Chains A and B, each alone.
Chain A
């Protein structure tokens, strides 16, 4: 009867409008049985954090292909923390150069997936590392 589902938000921060990857992932999370909130493109980190709290998601997946990830990704983590929602996991993906990984991990991004990452791997990562309500 009662079933605890993973709620995940897929969001595209910044000015980049290349959303095919984000949409494919949204679909793929749906097929994995998650409830997926898709916010669309051109979101500010503030909008994404506010929406994540309103939707009570367990995890936020950010997609960025424009190169602005070094500002945008950590900013989402920061705002969530400010709003008392540090328990929401944040992961990222897109065109992310290897040398940026350490600073993103330091900023609290829990995983980074770049082009070529198999969809199964991403879903499996979520299943392993995220529990509904982070219980």
Chain B
């Protein structure tokens, strides 16, 4: 009874936009507390309103600075903004320095903006495991726009496509030759390309390489050819502001296109599939692994594998037969 009451109270506060309650729930999700799952059960029916925009690119490409500028653009359009900024966890100590916020602190006191930093905590793919549910929380808070900034990515960290409606890939000049190398993976997921630091040498070469890459695509989903937005030096407010306006407009255009062509439904379905996979893994695989580890069975299996008495596939088949009837 009281737990139910607390749950409803939590939902009410989050829907009213209460930052403290929302941030604590995100924390509980990161720590995988059981009560956090019940909370998601309650908020899930209220999700699906926000436009989720993923921002990815290599370390130092200028993602956080771009997010900061986008917050300002969307605030001017009277949109409320949530930001989830992901930085890496140390594989050695489990600690993390979450520094994306430095670039966004001018918005700290704006009640229409909520910035939350997340550590990857071992997740691969450029995000953290909690990111999908954290998006739900910000969505239910009523944020019109949710910007998800990945860790600095290489070629393969494409997890962001499972969590966003619009993906922005941020590139910088001076890595020209690598365009060829990274054609698969991250170059394929962009709905919008940003050439950042476009005042630097090589930006035109980068642009023409991108164009020729796009020219080779036989057909674009929903007829959307990813536009290329050039963004210059953020210390030259005039031109920088103009290019940001262009980017904000293009983000809006993309969302409208998703709605018109019903690609939005596809993207939401993709996210749902990932959520089901993760939830199943948590519900089925995780308890088995935990029990096998705690009972010492895992240790014993490792020994047998090292002595070549068996192989991983035989073990997996055995475990599946025993546990999943």
Q: Is A30 an interface residue (CB 8 A)?
A: yes
* Chain A positions within 8 Å of B109 at CB level: 46-47, 50
> In the complex, what distance in Å separates the CA atom of A67 from the CA atom of B24?
34
* Chain B positions within 8 Å of A33 at CB level: 93-95
Give the residue of A30, A46, A85 whose beta carbon is less than 8 angstroms from that of B20: A85
Q: Is A119 an interface residue (CB 8 A)?
A: no
Interface of A is mostly: mixed
Scan residues 1-24 of chain A and give those whose CB is less than 8 A from a CB of chain B. Answer: 1-5, 7
Known contacts A27-B97, A33-B94, A38-B102; A7/B27 CB under 8 A: yes
Spot the interface stretch: B112-120, B145-153, B301-309: B112-120
Question: Are B98 and A37 interface neighbours, CB within 8 A?
Answer: yes
Q: Is A31 an interface residue (CB 8 A)?
A: yes
Scan residues 50-109 of chain A and give those whose CB is less than 8 A from a CB of chain B. Answer: 50-51, 53-56, 83-85
Which residue from chain B places its CB closest to the CB of A132 in the assembled complex? B31
Question: Are A35 and B115 interface neighbours, CB within 8 A?
Answer: no
CB distance from B10 to the nearest CB of A (A): 14
Most buried by B among A3, A27, A37: A37
How large, as a class, is the contact surface on chain B?
20 to 34
Q: Is A36 an interface residue (CB 8 A)?
A: yes
How large, as a class, is the contact surface on chain A?
35 or more
Q: Is B279 an interface residue (CB 8 A)?
A: no
Interface of B is mostly: mixed
Q: Is B155 an interface residue (CB 8 A)?
A: no
Which residue from chain B places its CB closest to the CB of A34 in the assembled complex? B95
Question: Are A37 and B105 interface neighbours, CB within 8 A?
Answer: no
Question: Are B90 and A30 interface neighbours, CB within 8 A?
Answer: yes
Question: Are B20 and A133 interface neighbours, CB within 8 A?
Answer: no
Question: Are B102 and A40 interface neighbours, CB within 8 A?
Answer: yes
Known contacts A51-B101, A51-B105, A55-B23; A30/B96 CB under 8 A: yes
What would be 18 A-B contacts, judged by CB atoms less than 8 Å apart?
A: A1-B290, A2-B31, A2-B32, A3-B31, A5-B94, A29-B95, A30-B97, A33-B94, A35-B119, A37-B99, A37-B101, A38-B98, A38-B101, A53-B19, A54-B108, A84-B20, A85-B20, A133-B24
Which B residues fall within an 8 A CB radius of A? 19-20, 23-24, 26-27, 30-33, 89-90, 93-99, 101-102, 105, 108-109, 114-117, 119, 286, 290
